[in-house]
Amino acid sequence: MRAAAACAALAALALTATVANAQDMQMIRPGMTETEVVDVFGSPDGKSAREVFTYYFYNNGCEAECGFPDLVIFQTGQVVDAVLRAPWRSYAGMSSSPKGTAPKPTPMQLGMPQTEVQGVEVRPAPQPPTPMPAELQPADTTASDSTSNGG
């Protein structure tokens, strides 16, 4: 009898944890306004804007590992994309970077076919000249000449 009661208590605890996790999940959808996103995710930790786009940045706790904070992209005030890594945030739309997608290099566009690029030479930056130590610098004789001629 005790085993059955323990199993029931464990099942109730697991159900409670699942419900709590579902309630903790924060989801945004395409077309939401900036105000609606703030209502769900809270105020962003950073903002940026360019032309008709606004970018909201949210700390996700894995910036060093993930390489970037969570990002919500608005176009003319409505959500058009989100790149989310925090397990408690989700996006109901099609993200441009779903979790698990390996980063890929962006091909260079040099205005010529890439077959013509033979290589790139990397040169060290020029170093400023090293100042000569004071004991090796020539003596300033103009000051001593004027005092000895003065009288």
How far, in whole angstroms, is CA 30 from its chain's centroid?
A: 22
Yes or no: say if 87 and 100 are a contact pair by the CB < 8 Å rule.
no
Check pLDDT > 50 for residue 10.
Answer: no
d(CA 103, CA 129) in angstroms, rounded, equals 42
Helical spans, DSSP H, in 1-118:
2-24, 34-41, 63-66
Radius of gyration of the chain (CA): 32
Query: Does any domain span residue 34?
Result: yes
- Domains identified in the chain, total number: 1
pLDDT of residue 17: 42
pTM of the model: 0.52
Query: Does any domain span residue 138?
Result: no
Query: Does any domain span residue 50?
Result: yes
pLDDT of residue 107: 52
Domain boundaries, position 72: 26-94
Taking residues 81-89, report their average pLDDT.
91
d(CA 84, CA 49) in angstroms, rounded, equals 19
**Res. 8 pLDDT band, cuts 50 70 90:** very low
Taking residues 73-85, report their average pLDDT.
93
pLDDT of residue 32: 95
Question: Each residue of 141-151: pLDDT tens digit?
Answer: 665 554 545 45
pLDDT of residue 59: 94
Torsion angle defined by CA atoms of residues 39, 40, 45 and 47, in that order, rounded to the nearest 10 degrees:
-70
Q: Tell me the average pLDDT of the chain.
A: 74
